[in-house]
Amino acid sequence: MPKEFRIGHGFDVHRFRRGRKLILGGVEIPHSKGLAGHSDADAVLHALMNALLGAMADGDIGTHFPDSDPRYKDIASGKLLAEVLRIMRRMRFKLVNADVTVVAERPKLSPHYSRIRKSVASLCNVAESRISVKATTTEKLGWTGQGKGVAVTAMVLLSR
Ligand code: MG
Protein backbone atom coordinates (compact mmCIF):
# COMPACT_ATOMS: atom_id res chain seq x y z
CA MET A 1 0.00 0.00 0.00
CA PRO A 2 1.40 3.46 -0.83
CA LYS A 3 2.36 5.60 2.13
CA GLU A 4 -0.29 7.94 3.43
CA PHE A 5 0.69 11.38 4.73
CA ARG A 6 -1.44 13.64 6.92
CA ILE A 7 -0.75 17.22 7.96
CA GLY A 8 -2.21 18.80 11.06
CA HIS A 9 -2.33 22.29 12.51
CA GLY A 10 -2.80 23.26 16.14
CA PHE A 11 -3.22 26.58 17.94
CA ASP A 12 -3.40 27.37 21.63
CA VAL A 13 -3.50 30.46 23.83
CA HIS A 14 -3.04 30.92 27.58
CA ARG A 15 -2.96 34.12 29.59
CA PHE A 16 -0.17 34.91 32.03
CA ARG A 17 -0.91 34.57 35.73
CA ARG A 18 1.30 35.32 38.72
CA GLY A 19 2.01 32.47 41.08
CA ARG A 20 2.14 29.81 38.35
CA LYS A 21 5.18 28.16 36.79
CA LEU A 22 5.82 28.80 33.11
CA ILE A 23 5.94 25.40 31.43
CA LEU A 24 6.53 25.19 27.68
CA GLY A 25 7.19 21.91 25.90
CA GLY A 26 7.48 20.14 29.24
CA VAL A 27 10.28 22.48 30.36
CA GLU A 28 10.10 25.03 33.18
CA ILE A 29 11.16 28.45 31.88
CA PRO A 30 12.33 31.03 34.44
CA HIS A 31 9.87 33.96 34.36
CA SER A 32 7.97 36.20 36.79
CA LYS A 33 4.63 34.66 35.70
CA GLY A 34 3.27 31.36 34.50
CA LEU A 35 0.24 30.53 32.39
CA ALA A 36 -3.29 30.15 33.71
CA GLY A 37 -5.14 26.95 32.89
CA HIS A 38 -6.86 23.84 34.19
CA SER A 39 -3.81 21.66 33.47
CA ASP A 40 -0.19 22.90 33.70
CA ALA A 41 -1.18 25.22 30.78
CA ASP A 42 1.70 24.04 28.59
CA ALA A 43 0.61 25.86 25.44
CA VAL A 44 3.37 24.25 23.35
CA LEU A 45 2.20 20.71 24.11
CA HIS A 46 -1.45 21.76 23.78
CA ALA A 47 -0.88 23.18 20.27
CA LEU A 48 1.15 20.10 19.38
CA MET A 49 -1.58 17.72 20.59
CA ASN A 50 -4.19 19.67 18.64
CA ALA A 51 -2.02 19.38 15.52
CA LEU A 52 -1.61 15.60 16.00
CA LEU A 53 -5.35 15.12 16.61
CA GLY A 54 -6.08 17.39 13.64
CA ALA A 55 -3.90 15.27 11.35
CA MET A 56 -5.87 12.20 12.48
CA ALA A 57 -9.18 14.11 12.17
CA ASP A 58 -9.90 13.00 15.74
CA GLY A 59 -11.28 16.08 17.48
CA ASP A 60 -9.14 18.23 19.75
CA ILE A 61 -7.77 18.20 23.29
CA GLY A 62 -10.99 19.73 24.58
CA THR A 63 -12.98 16.70 23.41
CA HIS A 64 -10.38 14.20 24.65
CA PHE A 65 -9.49 15.90 27.94
CA PRO A 66 -12.38 18.18 28.99
CA ASP A 67 -11.34 20.89 31.46
CA SER A 68 -14.50 20.10 33.45
CA ASP A 69 -12.85 16.77 34.40
CA PRO A 70 -11.08 16.99 37.80
CA ARG A 71 -8.63 14.25 36.64
CA TYR A 72 -6.92 16.86 34.46
CA LYS A 73 -6.56 19.54 37.15
CA ASP A 74 -2.91 20.75 37.14
CA ILE A 75 -1.90 17.63 35.19
CA ALA A 76 1.45 17.64 33.37
CA SER A 77 0.49 18.00 29.72
CA GLY A 78 3.15 15.41 28.83
CA LYS A 79 0.77 12.82 30.27
CA LEU A 80 -1.98 14.00 27.94
CA LEU A 81 0.47 13.92 25.02
CA ALA A 82 1.30 10.30 25.92
CA GLU A 83 -2.39 9.46 25.50
CA VAL A 84 -2.52 11.22 22.10
CA LEU A 85 0.56 9.23 21.03
CA ARG A 86 -1.21 6.02 22.09
CA ILE A 87 -4.12 6.97 19.82
CA MET A 88 -1.59 7.59 17.03
CA ARG A 89 0.02 4.18 17.51
CA ARG A 90 -3.39 2.50 17.49
CA MET A 91 -4.06 4.20 14.14
CA ARG A 92 -0.53 3.20 12.95
CA PHE A 93 0.57 6.81 12.43
CA LYS A 94 4.15 7.99 12.92
CA LEU A 95 5.28 11.55 13.51
CA VAL A 96 7.45 12.66 10.55
CA ASN A 97 8.13 16.14 11.92
CA ALA A 98 6.66 18.96 13.97
CA ASP A 99 7.21 22.69 13.64
CA VAL A 100 6.20 24.82 16.63
CA THR A 101 6.11 28.63 16.86
CA VAL A 102 5.63 30.39 20.20
CA VAL A 103 4.28 33.94 20.00
CA ALA A 104 5.31 35.91 23.09
CA GLU A 105 6.82 39.30 23.80
CA ARG A 106 8.68 37.85 26.78
CA PRO A 107 10.37 35.91 28.19
CA LYS A 108 12.95 35.63 25.45
CA LEU A 109 12.79 31.98 24.46
CA SER A 110 15.80 31.54 22.19
CA PRO A 111 18.08 30.64 25.14
CA HIS A 112 15.68 27.77 25.88
CA TYR A 113 15.08 26.43 22.34
CA SER A 114 17.47 23.55 22.78
CA ARG A 115 15.98 22.36 26.08
CA ILE A 116 12.40 22.63 24.80
CA ARG A 117 13.29 20.82 21.59
CA LYS A 118 15.01 17.99 23.48
CA SER A 119 12.04 17.66 25.80
CA VAL A 120 9.42 17.59 23.02
CA ALA A 121 11.47 15.07 21.01
CA SER A 122 11.84 12.87 24.06
CA LEU A 123 8.11 13.06 24.92
CA CYS A 124 7.28 12.16 21.30
CA ASN A 125 9.99 9.48 21.22
CA VAL A 126 11.51 10.83 18.00
CA ALA A 127 14.93 12.25 17.04
CA GLU A 128 15.47 15.92 17.83
CA SER A 129 16.06 16.53 14.11
CA ARG A 130 12.31 15.98 13.59
CA ILE A 131 11.28 18.73 16.04
CA SER A 132 11.53 22.46 15.38
CA VAL A 133 10.86 25.00 18.12
CA LYS A 134 11.05 28.73 17.48
CA ALA A 135 9.52 31.93 18.77
CA THR A 136 8.54 35.36 17.62
CA THR A 137 7.27 38.55 19.20
CA THR A 138 4.49 40.63 17.66
CA GLU A 139 6.58 43.82 17.87
CA LYS A 140 4.63 44.95 20.97
CA LEU A 141 1.36 44.87 18.99
CA GLY A 142 -1.84 43.32 20.33
CA TRP A 143 -2.31 41.24 23.48
CA THR A 144 0.77 39.09 22.96
CA GLY A 145 2.77 42.26 22.41
CA GLN A 146 1.42 43.69 25.66
CA GLY A 147 2.63 40.57 27.45
CA LYS A 148 -0.85 39.38 28.43
CA GLY A 149 -0.28 35.82 27.34
CA VAL A 150 1.26 33.34 24.96
CA ALA A 151 -0.02 31.92 21.67
CA VAL A 152 1.45 28.84 20.04
CA THR A 153 0.99 27.35 16.57
CA ALA A 154 2.10 23.86 15.65
CA MET A 155 2.18 21.97 12.39
CA VAL A 156 2.85 18.25 12.10
CA LEU A 157 3.23 15.69 9.37
CA LEU A 158 2.20 12.10 10.07
CA SER A 159 2.77 9.03 7.93
CA ARG A 160 1.47 5.46 7.89
MG1 MG B 1 -4.41 25.03 26.27
Ligand 1 centroid – CA 2 distance (Å): 35
Please write the tens of the pLDDT for every residue from 8-51.
999 999 999 999 999 999 999 999 999 999 899 999 999 999 99
Confidence band (pLDDT; 50, 70, 90) for 1?
Answer: low
Torsion angle (degrees, nearest 10) of CA 37, 10, 65, 31 = -20
Question: For residue 124, which amino acid is it?
Answer: C
pLDDT confidence of residue 73: 86
Ligand 1 centroid – CA 43 distance (Å): 5
Cβ 53 vs Cβ 61: under 8 Å = yes
Q: Residues 146-160: what's their mean pLDDT?
A: 97
Please write the tens of the pLDDT for every residue from 107-136.
999 999 999 999 999 999 999 999 999 999
Confidence band (pLDDT; 50, 70, 90) for 72?
Answer: confident
Helix H, strand E, coil C: the string for 44-106 is HHHHHHHHHHHHCCCCCHHHHCCCCCHHHCCCCHHHHHHHHHHHHHHCCCEEEEEEEEEECCC
Ligand 1 centroid – CA 8 distance (Å): 17
Please tell me the pTM assigned to this model: 0.96
